[in-house]
Amino acid sequence: MERRSAARRTRDLLGWLLPLGLLGTAIVSVPMLVLGEAGLPRWRALRAELVEAEHENDRLRREVDDLRVEVEALRHDPAAIERIARDELGLARHDELVFQFEP
């Protein structure tokens, strides 16, 4: 009977020690994981990086849309081609007189 009693006490002790040990480990390790370098600070940095990348993507999408409009204008609008030739290439019609001022 004493043998059963000792076995039962051991089982009861393990029944309390195991959950208590797991709880103690969790209480120590979870804050270390959350507040450590790979935890919450890293998550916040990655979140800020994601927001920045989304803003950059939006800006690039707008730029691509603007360039598509310009390409379509250059394909179909002779006035757009003339504007580019005058503004960016400095060209003029053969019957125009060009004045150039130097600063």
| Residue 36 DSSP code | S
Q: Which pLDDT does position 3 carry in this prediction? A: 59
Write down the domain spans for the chain: 1-35, 37-91
pLDDT in tens, 71-89: 999 999 999 888 888 888 8
pLDDT digits (tens, 9 = 90+) for 15-40: 888 888 888 888 877 777 777 777 78
| 55 contacts: CB under 8 Å, gap ≥ 6 | none
Please, what is the Cα angle at 76 between 74 and 81, to 5 degrees?
35
